[in-house]
Amino acid sequence: MPISAGDLIELLDAAGIRRALVLSVAYMYGSPNRPPVENEYEKVRAENDWTSQQLARFPDRLRGFCRFNPLKEYALAELTRCASDPQLHFGIKLHFGNSDVDLHNPQHVDLLRRVFRAANEHRMAIVVHMRSSVTPTVAMKPGFS
């Protein structure tokens, strides 16, 4: 069940927290580690839009980051769309593991450079969840997950 902005504000008030950063979960629709969804980009846009609508209810308390899989063909379009959104223009959060980003793959690195360059051009902050992969076939060193 989604937590609305109103629910979040109640939780923040109870904890004595004034402001929060909200991260969309739109990237999950483009995760190659989950079953494919029909109209993927439409769902990514709808999730980022829902997050934006929630944030707009409390603009003095909540800020948001847009999310998407940086390897998808729509990545730059969604970044640009979010950059024009008053609620989501603050930044992007990328999840390398759930997007199956391989930093040893030159094509992936090139796509990431394009996303980083576009975020920089729009003056958007970038947060990266660094994990090589969540694909079960990747061997991990003992003690790492």
Q: What is the CATH number of the domain that holds 11?
A: 3.20.20.140
Whether residue 29 lies inside any domain: the answer is yes
Which structural domain, as residue segments, surrounds residue 66? Answer: 5-129
8-state DSSP, 66? B
pTM, to two decimals? 0.86
What is the DSSP code string of 85-125? STTTBTEEEEETTTTT--TT-HHHHHHHHHHHHHHHHTT-E
Residue 139 has pLDDT above 60, yes or no: no
Is residue 73 a part of any domain in this protein?
Answer: yes
Q: Between 123 and 142, whose confidence is greater?
A: 123
**If pLDDT is split at 50, 70 and 90, which confidence band does 144 have?**
very low
Query: Structurally, how many domains does the chain consist of?
Result: 1
> pLDDT tens, 17-56?
999 999 999 999 999 989 999 999 999 999 999 999 999 9
Between these two residues, 45 and 145, which has the higher pLDDT value? 45
Over 80: is that where the pLDDT of 138 sits? no
